[in-house]
Amino acid sequence: MILLLLSCATDAEPALVALGNREQLIRLSVDLRGVHPSEEELLAIEADLDLYDQYVDRYLADPRFLDRVEEILNTRMLTRDGRTYFDPGQAGLVVSDADVADSVGDEPLKLARHIVDNDLPWSELVLADYTMADPVLAAMWDLEHEGEGWATARYRDGRPHAGVLTMTTTWLRYPSAGVNANRHRANAVSRILLCDDYLARPVSFERSQIDAITTGDPEQVIADTPTCQSCHSSLDPLAAHFFGFWWDTEDAGLDEGTLYRPEDENLWRDHADREPGFYGHPTADIQDLAGMIAEDPRFADCAVETFFEGLTQRRTTDADWEELALHRNAFSESNQHVKTLVRSIVLSPEYRARSTSDPELAERLVPVKTLGPHQLESVVEDITGYRWSFDGRGISDNAEGLAVLAGGIDSRDVVEGSHDPSVGLLSIQERLAWSAAHHVVGHDLDPARTEDAILLRYVTHETRPPDEAFEAQIRSLYVDVTGLPLAEEAREPALMAQLWTEVHTVNGDPDEAWATVLSVVLRDPHLLFY
- Among positions 439-478, residues that touch another protein (CB under 8 A) are 439
Going by C-alpha positions, the residue among 184, 171, 195 that lies closest to residue 73 is: 195
User: Which one, of 34, 26, 52, lies nearest residue 348 by Cα?
Assistant: 52
* SS3 sequence of 293-360: HHHCHHHHHHHHHHHHHHHHCCCCCHHHHHHHHHHHHHHHHCCCCHHHHHHHHHHCCCCCEEEECCHH
Binder to another protein among 325, 427, 449, 460 (CB under 8 A)? 427
Identified binder of another protein from the candidate list 97, 146, 211, 275, rule CB under 8 A: 211
Map residue 240 onto helix, strand or coil: helix
CA 341/CA 299 separation, integer angstroms: 14
* Shortest distance, position 196 Cβ to another protein, whole Å: 13
Helix (H, G, I), strand (E, B) or coil at 389: strand
Query: How many positions of this chain bind another protein (CB under 8 A)?
Result: 84
Q: What is the smallest separation between the CB atom of 322 and another protein, expressed in angstroms?
A: 19
Residues between 173 and 202 with contacts to another protein, criterion CB under 8 A: 177-180, 184, 187, 197, 199-202
Q: Which of 265, 292, 268 is nearest to 281 (CA)?
A: 292
Q: Which is nearer to another protein, 267 or 292 (CB)?
A: 267
Whether the CB-CB separation of 404 and 414 falls below 8 Å is answered with yes
What counts of helices (H) and strands (E) characterise the chain? 24, 9
279 binds another protein (CB under 8 A): no
The nearest distance, CB 227 to another protein, in angstroms, is 13
Residue 75 touching another protein (CB under 8 A): no
| 217 in contact with another protein (CB under 8 A) | no
Q: Candidates 54, 266, 335, 389: give the one binding another protein (CB under 8 A).
A: 389
Question: Could you say which residues in the range 287-316 bind another protein, by CB under 8 A?
Answer: 315
**Least CB distance from residue 471 to another protein, whole Å?**
16
Binding window for another protein (CB under 8 A); candidates: 79-87, 135-143, 294-302, 520-528? 520-528
The verdict on 252 binding another protein (CB under 8 A) reads no
Q: Does 13 bind another protein (CB under 8 A)?
A: no
Least distance from C-beta 57 to another protein, angstroms?
28
Among 263, 391, 452, 488, binds another protein (CB under 8 A): 391
Among 13, 148, 413, 488, binds another protein (CB under 8 A): 413
Residue 370 backbone phi and psi in degrees, to 5:
-110, 135
CA–CA distance, 434 with 285 (Å, rounded to integer): 56
Question: Least separation, in Å, of the C-beta of 44 and another protein?
Answer: 24
Span near another protein by CB under 8 A; candidates 82-90, 127-135, 333-341, 509-517: 509-517
Among 347, 421, 453, 464, binds another protein (CB under 8 A): 421
Least Å distance, CB 186 to another protein, is 12
In the window 485-504, what residues touch another protein (CB under 8 A)? 492, 495-496, 498-499, 502-503
- Tell me how far, at minimum, the Cβ of 394 lies from another protein, in Å: 9
Q: Which is nearer to another protein, 28 or 528 (CB)?
A: 528
Q: Which is nearer to another protein, 10 or 204 (CB)?
A: 204
Helix (H, G, I), strand (E, B) or coil at 281: strand
Shortest separation between residue 177's beta carbon and another protein, angstroms? 5
Residue 6 contacts another protein per CB under 8 A = no
Single-letter residue type at 255: D
CB atoms within 10 A of CB 51: 16
SS3 content of the chain, % helix, strand, coil (to 5): 55, 5, 40
| Distances in whole angstroms, Cα of residue 155 to Cα of each of 83, 252, 257, 286 | 21, 19, 14, 15
Distance from C-alpha of 6 to C-alpha of 193, rounded to nearest angstrom: 33
> Is the distance from CB of 530 to CB of 371 less than 8 angstroms?
yes
94 belongs to the binding site for another protein (CB under 8 A): no
- The Cα–Cα gap between 116 and 387 comes to 27
| Span interacting with another protein, options 30-38, 227-235, 359-367, 463-471, rule CB under 8 A | 359-367
Helix (H, G, I), strand (E, B) or coil at 402: helix
Nearer to another protein, 330 or 522 (CB): 522
Minimum Å gap between C-beta 447 and another protein is: 20
Amino acid letter, residue 317:
T
Contact 301, 312 (CB under 8 A): no
